[in-house]
Amino acid sequence: MKILVTGGAGFIGSNVVDLLLHHGHDVVIVDNLVTGRYSNLNPAATFYQLDIRSSNLSQIFEKERPEVVNHHAAQMDVRRSVADPLYDADVNVKGSLNVLECARKYEVRQFIYASSGGTVYGEPQYLPCDESHPIQPVCQYGGTKYMTELYLYMYRVMYGMDYVVFRYPNVYGPRQDPKGEAGVVAIFTGQMSRDETVTIHGDGLQERDFVYVDDVAEANRIALSLPSGGYVYNLGTGQPTNVVQIFDALKEITSYSKNALFSPARLGETRRIYLNSTKFQTETGWKPKTSLMEGLKKTVEFFRQTEIVN
C-alpha cells in the first residue's frame, strides 16, 4: 500500500521507511530536513523536501493519494520546547493539524502517529504507566504531542478516520543524532567515540524505558493490519534503566576510560518513567525483541561504521 511518512529522513522515521519498503510498500516521505538527513533517505522512496506547516502539502496529497499517513515529523527536543514553546507548538500542533487536514481531505484510511509516552504522563502516579494513567505533562513538548492525540480522537468521531497513536518510550539505535540534545545513548556514544568527557545532567539516577528502534519500526508495520478503529498504545519494555547504567554499559562496550561529569538537572525532565505495553503486546503479539545490551552494541557498531564512511 502507499504510505506517506512525515519525518522519514529522521532517526525513527527513516528506520520505519526502510522496514515498510522491505515489506513491499510504496513510500512517500515529507521532511524539511531541519534535523533529518539526506543520508538517512532510502532512495526507493519518493522524497519531498517540505515543511509540514506548508500550504503546499495538499499538492503532495493530491498527487500521491496515500492510503496511510505515518506521522513522525516533529520538534522533538524537550529543552527546545521549554526555551521556545511557540516554535514547538507551531510545528507539533499546527504542523500536525495541517497533515491531519490533508489526510481528511484526501480520504486517507489510517493515520499512525508517534506520540511520547515519556512526556504525556508527566511525573507518574504509578509505574509502569499504562494507557489509562492521567495525562499531566510537565513540559511544553508533552503538551503539544498530546494535542494531536486529541485531534485524532475528534477526527475519528467527526469523520470516521482510523488512527493508531503510539506513545513511545526512549527510543535509541542507529541514526539517532549523536550531536543532538535528545537521546542519551547516541550522545554518550558520540562523546565516547571522540574520547570527550561525557556529561550527565542531574544525578544520573533518573529512570527511563529504552526500546531499540527496530522494535518500534516493527510496531508501525503491525499497525497497518489493525482492524478499523481508534487505538492508543504504549510501546516499551516496562523495565526501568537509569542514565548511569546506560553510561556504564556504553563505557564497557566502547572501552571508554574516563569518568562522567555531573551537571545540574534540566528543566522539564521527568524523574522516573517506564511504560506498560501489555495492551499492544496482547492485541497484536508485538514484543520488544532486542535486549538493551544487544541494542547498545548494535548502536555503537553503527556509529563506528558511519565514522569510517564519513
* Residues belonging to the active site: 141
Q: How far is the CB of 15 from ligand NAD (least distance, A)?
A: 8
Kindly state the smallest distance separating residue 56's Cβ from ligand NAD, in Å: 11
User: Nearer Cβ to ligand NAD, position 35 or 42?
Assistant: 35
User: Residue 166 and residue 173: Cα distance in Å, rounded?
Assistant: 18
Interaction pattern, residues 41-60, with ligand NAD; x per rule: CB under 6 A: ----------xxx-------
Q: Is 29 helix (H, G, I), strand (E, B) or coil?
A: strand
* Measured distance CA(76)–CA(31) in Å, rounded: 14
Percentage helix, strand, coil for the chain under 3-state DSSP, each rounded to 5: 40, 20, 40
Whole-angstrom CA distances from 27 to 6, 17, 214, 244, 270 are 10, 7, 18, 39, 35
Q: Does residue number 13 form part of the binding site for ligand NAD (CB under 6 A)?
A: yes
- 105 vs 58, 161, 201, CA distance in Å? 9, 11, 45
The answer to whether the beta carbons of residues 163 and 103 sit under 8 Å apart is no
Nearest Cα neighbor of 284 from 232, 219, 231 is 219
Q: What is the DSSP string of 69-101?
A: EEE------HHHHHH-HHHHHIIIIIIHHHHHH
> Quick check: 208 binds ligand NAD (CB under 6 A)?
no
Q: Pick one of 3, 4, 9, 217: the residue that binds ligand NAD (CB under 6 A).
A: 9
> Minimum CB separation from ligand NAD for residue 196, in Å?
22
Q: Tell whether residue 275 is a contact of ligand NAD (CB under 6 A).
A: no
Q: Please say whether the beta carbons of 184 and 249 come within 8 A.
A: no
Q: Which stretch binds ligand NAD (CB under 6 A): 25-33, 230-238, 256-264, 272-280?
A: 25-33
3-class DSSP state of 257: coil
Q: Binding string to ligand NAD for residues 156 to 185, with x set by CB under 6 A, is what?
A: ------------x-xx-----------x--
- Give min distance, CB of 123 to ligand NAD, in A: 17
Q: 293: which DSSP letter?
A: H
Among 19, 28, 91, 198, binds ligand NAD (CB under 6 A): 91
Per CB under 6 A, 12 contacts ligand NAD: yes
- In whole angstroms, the minimum distance from the beta carbon of 259 to ligand NAD comes to 26
Nearer to ligand NAD, 37 or 109 (CB): 37
Contact positions vs ligand NAD (CB under 6 A): 7, 9-13, 31-36, 51-53, 72-76, 91, 95, 114, 116, 118, 145, 168, 170-171, 183
